[in-house]
Amino acid sequence: AQTVTQSQPEMSVQEAETVTLSCTYDTSESDYYLFWYKQPPSRQMILVIRQEAYKQQNATENRFSVNFQKAAKSFSLKISDSQLGDAAMYFCAYRSSNNAGNMLTFGGGTRLMVKP
Amino acid sequence: KAGVTQTPRYLIKTRGQQVTLSCSPISGHRSVSWYQQTPGQGLQFLFEYFSETQRNKGNFPGRFSGRQFSNSRSEMNVSTLELGDSALYLCASSLVGPTNTEAFFGQGTRLTVV
């Protein structure tokens, strides 16, 4: 079974600065998908960024980028130019590409606080 | 395009009762997954339905069940409620295909068991 670990329960960043959230995972599969989801106080999970394991290039979405290290099974999220609206819970998630389904395995989450 | 709709948003039930939660996926999405979110256990996968069939199941007791209708709407049922069932229940819908990997989530149903 796959596991996802987020070692930072809480992180804090000054507005306009850069912060990196860590995620490691354990799997014996070679092909899979990784995601970062944001959960604001409204509770709705919002997809921030996704990475296909077969792609070597790190995914980027505006101010959000990932550092995907497949051999190390590491998938960190970098948020540049942090904004007050970035304050939320962030979850790293894994999805197998072999599984004929959409089951996500989540990490425990990192609460990001943004200081004005 | 309407998002994933979960009803009700809040629910208070008594131990021993049963409860049914509803999830309407995004139009065209045939896969619906359910997750339980608690402070202690985090986000845990309950089950996934696709074309009215349960395709995947998480490690939850048989008190937790679900179904999917022909219009892809899904319901989740919890029988004989326990205090530990208090949680946020999230539903997610997805397209099905080799490159369609994104799950879209609803706002959840907050269940409190007293």
**How do residues A1-28 score in pLDDT, each as one tens digit?**
889 999 999 999 999 999 999 999 999 9
Question: Which B residues in the span 66-85 are in contact with A, Cβ-Cβ below 8 Å?
Answer: none
Percent residues over pLDDT 70 in chain B? 95
Per-residue pLDDT tens over the stretch B60-108: 999 999 999 999 999 999 999 999 999 999 999 998 766 666 899 999 9
pLDDT of B7 reads 97
pLDDT of A102 reads 80
Q: Is B34 on the interface with A (CB under 8 A)?
A: no
Q: Are strands B109-113 and B10-13 parallel, antiparallel or unpaired?
A: parallel
pLDDT of A98 reads 73
- Please choose, from the candidates A107, A48, A37, the residue with its C-alpha nearest in 3D space to the C-alpha of residue A73: A107
Interchain CB contacts (distance < 8 Å): A and B: 60
As a whole number, mean pLDDT of residues A55-78 equals 94
pLDDT of A55 reads 87
Taking an 8 Å cut-off on Cβ atoms, the answer to whether B48 and A46 are in contact is no
As a whole number, mean pLDDT of residues A32-39 equals 95
A56 — pLDDT class (breaks 50, 70, 90): confident
pLDDT of B2 reads 79
Could you tell me where the beta strands, DSSP code E, fall in B18-108?
Answer: 19-24, 31-38, 42-50, 53-57, 64-68, 74-78, 87-94, 104-105
Locate the chain A residue with the closest alpha carbon to B107.
Answer: A44
Q: Is B48 on the interface with A (CB under 8 A)?
A: yes
Residue A99 has pLDDT above 70, yes or no: no
**Closest approach of A47 to chain B, Cα-based (Å):** 8
Q: Please give the Cα distance from B73 to B23 (Å, whole number).
A: 6
| Residue in B42, B103, B108 closest to A102 by CB | B103
Segment (H or E) for B7: strand B5-7
- Please choose, from the candidates B113, B112, B97, B95, the residue with its C-alpha nearest in 3D space to the C-alpha of residue B33: B95
